[in-house]
Amino acid sequence: MRKVAFVTGGSRGIGRAIAVRLAAEGYAVGIGYLQSREQAGALAETLRLQGADALAVQGDVADREAITAAIRSVEASLGPVSVLVNNAGIAGQCQFQDIPDSFWHRMFAVNVDGAFHTIQAVLPHMIHEKSGSIVNISSMWGLRGASCEAAYSATKAALIGLTRSLAVELAPSGIRVNCVAPGVILTDMVRTLGEDTLHMLAEQTPLGRIGAPEDIAGITAFLAGDGAAFITGQVVTADGGFIV
β-strands 28-33, 83-86: how paired? unpaired
Q: Out of 6, 27, 141, 152, pick the active-site residue.
A: 152
CB contact at 8 A, 233 and 163? yes
Give the rounded distance of the alpha carbon of 126 from its chain centre.
Answer: 18
Q: How far apart are CA 45 and CA 12, in angstroms?
A: 14
96-105, Cβ contacts within 8 angstroms, sequence gap of 24 or more:
96/148, 96/150, 99/150, 99/151, 103/151, 104/151
Active-site residue flag, 33: no
Question: Catalytic residue positions?
Answer: 152
